[in-house]
Amino acid sequence: MAVPRAERVTKWLIAGPPLAFLLAFFLLPSLIMALASLRYPGEFGGLAPLAARPGEESGLTLENYALFFGDWVYAQIFAKSLVIAALTTFACLVLAYPLALLIARSPKKRRDFMVLLVILPFASNFLVRVYAWMIILGPMDLLFTRFAVIVGMVYVHLPFMILPLYTNLEKHDPTLLDAAQDLGANAWHTFWRVTFPLSLPGVFSGSALVFIPVLGMFAIPELLGGKDDWMVGNMIKEAFLGTRDWPFGSMLSLMLTLAVLAIAGAAALFARRGAPNE
C-alpha cells in the first residue's frame, strides 16, 4: 500500500533530527573509536602518526584485539561487569516495582509530589552521594566489597528504574484489575497475570536505563569497591588516563559497545515476542 507523499515527508521531518543526532554523536564517534583501536599508541599517549614507521608495513595493527582475545583476564572482567550490572538491574527492579506501583495507584494529587521525591537526589552531586555511602558503609565494615559496589550502583540508578515503570503502570486501566478479580483471580494472580505482563515495556526500558550505564561505570567501583571489583569502565578509564594507551582503550570501549548492543538486541527480540500487540 502506497503511503501518501505528505505523510512520508512528515515522517522524515519528525524522524530526521534524532536520526541526525544519533549519526553525529553515536555512529561517527564509534567509527572514530574503531579506527583508533587499530592504530599504535603515541609515544607519550594519544595516537601514533598514521604513516608507516620504518620497518613496518602500515600504521594499523590488530595487536590490541590479539591481546584482548589472547588473555583470559579480559573476558573475566567483562563477565564480572555483566554480573554486577545484572545484579544491580535485578535489585533495582525488585526495589523499584512496589514503589512505582504505590505511586501509580496513589491519588492523582499525591503522585506528582512522590515523583518529585524520586528525582530529588539528582539535586545533589553524584560523587557527594557516593561519598555519603562510604560514610555509611565504613563503620559497618562493608566498605570496599562487591556488596558496597552494588549498593552504590542500585542507589544511584534506582530513579532510572522507577520512572519508566511508573509511567507505564500509571497508564493501566484499573477496570482490568476489577475484571481479573471478578473472574476469580486473587491478588497474586491478578498481579502476575495482568499487571506484570502489561508492565513489561516499562520493565525493559527501566532495565536498559540501569544495565547500560552500570556496565560502563568506573567511579563507584573505584570508591566503594575492593581489589576484585575492577570493572570494564575502570579498565577503559585506566587505558586513557593511566597508561595513556588510547588504541587499547578504544578497543575496550568498542567491545563494550558491541556487548551492550548485543544484549539490547536480544532483549528487544525477546520483548517483541512477549508483547505481540505493541
Partner 1 sequence: MPLLEIRNVTRRFGTLTAIDRVTLSIEAGEFFTLLGPSGCGKTTLLRMIAGFDAPDAGSIFLDGRDLADKPPEQRPVHTVFQSYALFPHMSVARNVAFPLQMAKKPPEEIAAKVKQALAEVHLEDKGASYPHELSGGQKQRVALARALVTRPRMLLLDEPLGALDAKLREQMEIELISLQRDVGITFVFVTHAQPEALALSHRIAVMRDGRVEQMDTPSRLYGFPANRFVADFIGNCNMLPATVSEATPHGLRLAVGALGEVAAPPAERARAGQAGVLALRPEQVHIVAANAAHELKNHFAGRVRDFLYIGDVTTYVVELENGTRIEALLANSAPGRARFFEVDEPVKVAWRHDAGIFLLD
Separation of alpha carbons 94 and 191, rounded Å: 14
Q: Identify the DSSP state of 191.
A: I
- Under rule CB under 8 A, which residues in 114-173 are in contact with partner 1? 173
Separation of alpha carbons 168 and 202, rounded Å: 5
* 42, 146, 181, 267: residue in contact with partner 1 (rule CB under 8 A): 181
Separation of alpha carbons 31 and 254, rounded Å: 9
C-alpha cell at 59: 600504521
Q: From residue 193 to residue 232, what is the string marking binding to partner 1 with x (rule CB under 8 A)?
A: xx--xx----------------------------------
- Exposure pattern of 39-67 as b/e (b: 16+ CB <10 Å)? bbbeeeeebeeeeeeeeeeeeebeebeee
The CB-of-274 to partner 1 minimum distance in angstroms stands at 9
The CB-of-183 to partner 1 minimum distance in angstroms stands at 4
Pair 230, 221: CB distance under 8 Å: yes
The number of beta carbons lying within 10 Å of the beta carbon of residue 89 is 24
* 2, 3, 135, 183: residue in contact with partner 1 (rule CB under 8 A): 183
The CB-of-4 to partner 1 minimum distance in angstroms stands at 24
Nearer to partner 1, 104 or 236 (CB): 104
* 7, 56, 63, 178: residue in contact with partner 1 (rule CB under 8 A): 178
The CB-of-173 to partner 1 minimum distance in angstroms stands at 7
* 9, 23, 67, 176: residue in contact with partner 1 (rule CB under 8 A): 176
The answer to whether 107 contacts partner 1 (rule: CB under 8 A) is no
The answer to whether 11 contacts partner 1 (rule: CB under 8 A) is no
Tell me how many residues contact partner 1 (CB under 8 A): 20
Pair 148, 142: CB distance under 8 Å: yes
The answer to whether 273 contacts partner 1 (rule: CB under 8 A) is no
* 48, 95, 142, 185: residue in contact with partner 1 (rule CB under 8 A): 185
DSSP string for residues in 28-97: HHHHHHHHHTTBPBPBTBSB--SSPPTTSS-SB--HHHHHHHH-HHHHHHHHHHHHHHHHHHHHHHHHHH
* CA dist 209 → 15, 164, 268 (Å): 22, 9, 14
* 38, 91, 180, 224: residue in contact with partner 1 (rule CB under 8 A): 180
Nearer to partner 1, 79 or 275 (CB): 275
**Binding footprint of partner 1 on the chain (CB under 8 A):** 173, 175-176, 178-186, 189, 193-194, 197-198, 275-277
